[in-house]
Structure formats: structure tokens, C-alpha cells
A = this chain, B = another copy of it.
Amino acid sequence: MSKAFKVKDQHIQNLGNIVGGSKSILYHKEDLMAYDCDGFTLHKHLPKAVVFPKDTKEVSELVKYCSTHHLPFLARGAGTGLSGGAIPLNGEVIISLVRMKRLLSVDLENRRAVVEPGFVNLKLTNSISDKGYYYAPDPSSQYCCTIGGNVAENAGGAHCLKYGVTTNHILGLEVVLPDGEIIEIGQYGIPDSPGYDLLGLLTGSEGTLGIVTKITVRILKNPEAKQTVLAYFDRIEDGSQAVSDIISNGIVPAALEMMDKIAIEGVEAAAFPVGHTKDIEALLLIEVDGISEGIDEQINQILAVCKSRNVREVKVAVDEQERGRWWANRKTGFGAMGAISPDYLVQDGVIPRSKLPEVLNKINQVSIEFGLRIANIFHAGDGNLHPLVLFDARKPGETEKALKAGSACLQVCADAGGTITGEHGVGIEKREEMRFVFNDDEIVSQTNIRDVFNPNNLLNAGKLFPSPGRCVEIKQELKEKTSSPII
């Protein structure tokens, strides 16, 4: 413990002492400003302090302290979340998990690894790839996001079409509950744990039910072979129909991604241009993997489908380098929009795959109605859309207009029998849009569960659910913030 650590605020002093002194706590305003938002930057709120525990015991003690003294608190990973789940709306004590970043064990025979929550997603694959294994969930931020954050948001990724989202890869969790108690759930996970599925309940609960301090994940054997196809379509309807046809043929691609015309313009103007044909309406990036023998057959079927749907050009990646270039172009796609627009807002909706052409049409109407361009880069195979609303925050009122357009896109998804998030979570961003898909009874069923875990609502309050009182405040805040930059 640092002897020099002495501050006026008794809570800061005590919290600091739990984590070993001044090196493990931030409380000066200039330090706290780095923690006033996450990947969703429309709300900025200063935390009371940021503490950096080194183990579960310290997390538990911090939580007990906050709980006893009625201090609001929340957990934070890398802060890459896109819906505002780690923003301290109520001056929370932020419990940062970045120091708890060890890979605790790898059990190749039983296909499991145990990690601390601050362990970075991609590092897991990097740690086991020489032995022929990998960790499947691959959000675009995987080079920096943490697995703890992935659990909170039930993160997806391009390959979740075949391999499922985070919840399908979590076998066990150690969790600090909001009263500081430590529980282990679903340690073994396969195939059907006794009792209620707390593992599923905690995964994707956006940091509102507990703080995950240890995670047992499933790891997979590298596929023997992988092939990637790029297809250009003159008409978006043909591209959409090709998506349906591929799946109907019984092929489950590892990934099936789509970009529309504006998105292609963006990624070609930005850091990793591939040299896509620009006068097309849609491109598909399709990857299949598995044992070597079946792959060619699947690729041939995919090529045949594309041709039957009037593809202008279709090609198979000739080597790993070309494949890597295509993927880099896709994975940096959101950021690339910065090359063609001062600001953009990412949305995240889900629709039944068969409604793709109809929904893209309606999103186009939203674009016309609001006078804002909307690009689409998305996981077409599982109907997970990402409309990117392009706007200029410097123009008065345009941020608000962009938010409304984003919300209108979600309404289109909900009306098509879909839902309002596929992988980014609800957080602050989509609290009100929860009403597009849940009635009051259904929301109360969920807040009742939160109350069981988190009876005083000290943990990450104000997230995930609409609350009439707060909604008014938020609208107010948004009005005040229309000039904030959005990244």
C-alpha cells in the first residue's frame, strides 16, 4: 500500500486502500475524463473514481464497500462497447478489469480455456493457434476488446452465422454479485446444466446483474480449410436473393457479409481499399470452412448460385493474403465511413433473412425522409443489419436527426418481425427502442429479475430498460449535446 496516498474524500481513500493505494485508483477530473464514455459517445458523464483491482477478492471487496455505502458502481473492460453500457450515468465508481488480464489455463483435450475478464479477445486465439485451436467469437474490435466485455454484451462477429455468438462459447463464469458475494455458475456447461440457465442469463446482461471475474470458454479446432468468395451484384435484390439461396442450398457459410453501394464507396475511400467495382449495388463476402474435401463442392455451389442471380463478377481468394485484404476491408468498414462523412451513427437491427430486400428498401426510404445518407455493412447470413447513418454534427440539429433516423431504421426492423439489436446491446442508446419489441409486462418481467440480483439498483443503473422518468432527462441531455462529436 502506498504510504503517500491520502485524500480528503474518505470513500476514495477507502476504495484506494482496497486496491493497494494510489497507483490503482484514479480520481482527479483530468484522469476521469478518459472514462466519461465508451464507444457510444453521445453521453458523457464523469465517474466518481476508477479503480483497478487485481483479483476477484479485490473486486468483491470493492463491491461490498460500494454496496454498504450506497455508492453506484459499474464494471468496465476495454470501453469499446457501442451502446453506452460502460458510461457512468450516475457518477459511478468504475471498476476497471483491465489488470485482470491473465490466461489462467488451457485444456486442449476438453476444448476449454479459462481467462480473466480483462483478457483481450484476439489474444486467446493468438495464444493457442500454434496448437491448431482458436476462439470463435470475432467482433470487429477483437484486437482490443476484452472477453469480459464480450460476455456483458453477448458480442457477435462476422463468423457468428456458423459458430454462434458469445453465449454459445461460454461454459462457466465466476461472478461477483452486487452484494459482493462470489458465485460460480455453469462451470461445465455441457450440454444442459441443472437448475436455471444463469449462465445464459448473465451473458448479455450488459453489466446489470453482476461483475464477471473469471470465464471458462469453449475453444475450437482450426478448420482444415477455408475459402473466401467475393461477389458483385448490379442489383441489391439479386444479392439478397443469393444470400437466401445459399442458405436454402443447405450450405452454412462461416460468414456471409454484405455491403451496399454507399458502404463500398466508404471502404474504398479509406485505409484498406480492395479496388471494388464502384458502380455496383451490393457485394457479398462469403466464407466457407471445414475439412478440405467438402470445400470445393460448396464453393462451386456458391458460384452457381451467384451466377443464377445475375452476379456481375465473382471470384475466389487466391491466397491467404488476398483473403486477409478482403476481411480487413470489411472489418474496418464502420470506421471507414469517416472518409466520406464527418460523422456517422452505427445501428444494429435483426430481421428475418427473407425480408432483406423489403427492409433495405424501407431503410432507403428512411434515408430519403431524413435527408441523410445511410450505408449498410452487415451480417446478411443471419439477418443482422448495421445501417450507418452519415451526418455532420457541426450542422445544427443534424445529430438529433441522425438519432431519429437510426431509431426509424430499428422500427423498420421491428415491424418486419425482427428486433432492435443483434450484437451491440441496448445500453443507453436503445432503451426507448426496447418498447418496439417488448410490452410493459415483458419489460417488467426483466426488471424484476434485475431487482433480484441488484435490489438497490446500484450496479449500472439506468441501462438496458426504458424508464419514463429518465427518458425525459435523456432527451434533455441530447438537446444539450447536439454539437458533441460522434466517432
Interface set of A (CB-CB < 8 Å, partner B):
107-111, 132, 154, 156, 160, 164-165, 167-168, 177, 181, 183-185, 187-188, 190-198, 200-201, 203-205, 209, 221-224, 244, 247-248, 250-251, 290-294, 296-298, 350, 352-354, 382-384, 417-423, 425-426, 430, 434, 437-439, 441-443, 445-446, 448-453, 464-465
Separation in Å of the A237 CB from the closest CB of chain B?
15
Separation in Å of the A121 CB from the closest CB of chain B?
16
Residue of B with least CB distance to A291? B294
**Bound-state Cα–Cα, A292 to B250, Å:** 12
A-B contact pairs, 22 of them (CB 8 A): A109-B244, A109-B353, A154-B192, A165-B191, A181-B441, A183-B441, A183-B442, A187-B419, A187-B437, A188-B419, A194-B421, A194-B425, A194-B426, A195-B426, A195-B434, A197-B200, A197-B205, A200-B200, A200-B201, A290-B290, A293-B294, A294-B297
Residue of B with least CB distance to A296? B293
Query: Pick the contact of A190 from B296, B297, B383 — CB < 8 Å?
Result: B383
Number of this chain's copies in the assembly equals: 2
Contact present for A350 and B190 (CB under 8 Å): yes
Known contacts A291-B294, A294-B293, A452-B448; A194/B420 CB under 8 A: yes
For residue A209, which residues in chain B have a CB less than 8 angstroms away from its CB?
196
Known contacts A109-B244, A248-B109, A250-B291; A195/B422 CB under 8 A: no
Point out which of A195, A425, A452 has the most chain B C-beta atoms below 10 A from its C-beta.
A195
Query: Pick the contact of A297 from B181, B293, B445 — CB < 8 Å?
Result: B293
**Bound-state Cα–Cα, A187 to B436, Å:** 13
For residue A441, which residues in chain B have a CB less than 8 angstroms away from its CB?
181, 183
For residue A197, which residues in chain B have a CB less than 8 angstroms away from its CB?
154, 167, 197, 200-201, 203-205
**Bound-state Cα–Cα, A177 to B204, Å:** 23
Query: Pick the contact of A191 from B164, B205, B291 — CB < 8 Å?
Result: B164
Given known contacts A191-B384, A196-B209, what 10 new A-B pairs fall within 8 Å (CB)?
A: A108-B248, A183-B439, A187-B417, A193-B419, A194-B426, A194-B434, A194-B437, A196-B449, A251-B291, A290-B290
Top 7 A-B residue pairs of the complex, sorted by shortest distance between their CB atoms:
A294-B294, A200-B200, A221-B250, A293-B297, A109-B354, A197-B200, A110-B352
For residue A154, which residues in chain B have a CB less than 8 angstroms away from its CB?
192, 197
**Bound-state Cα–Cα, A201 to B154, Å:** 15
**Bound-state Cα–Cα, A411 to B197, Å:** 21
**Bound-state Cα–Cα, A377 to B147, Å:** 37
For residue A203, which residues in chain B have a CB less than 8 angstroms away from its CB?
197
Point out which of A177, A191, A383, A441 has the most chain B C-beta atoms below 10 A from its C-beta.
A191
Point out which of A167, A221, A250, A453 has the most chain B C-beta atoms below 10 A from its C-beta.
A250
For residue A204, which residues in chain B have a CB less than 8 angstroms away from its CB?
192, 196-197
Residue of B with least CB distance to A156? B191
Residue of B with least CB distance to A294? B294
**Bound-state Cα–Cα, A425 to B197, Å:** 12
**Bound-state Cα–Cα, A350 to B186, Å:** 12
For residue A192, which residues in chain B have a CB less than 8 angstroms away from its CB?
154, 156, 165, 167, 204, 421-423
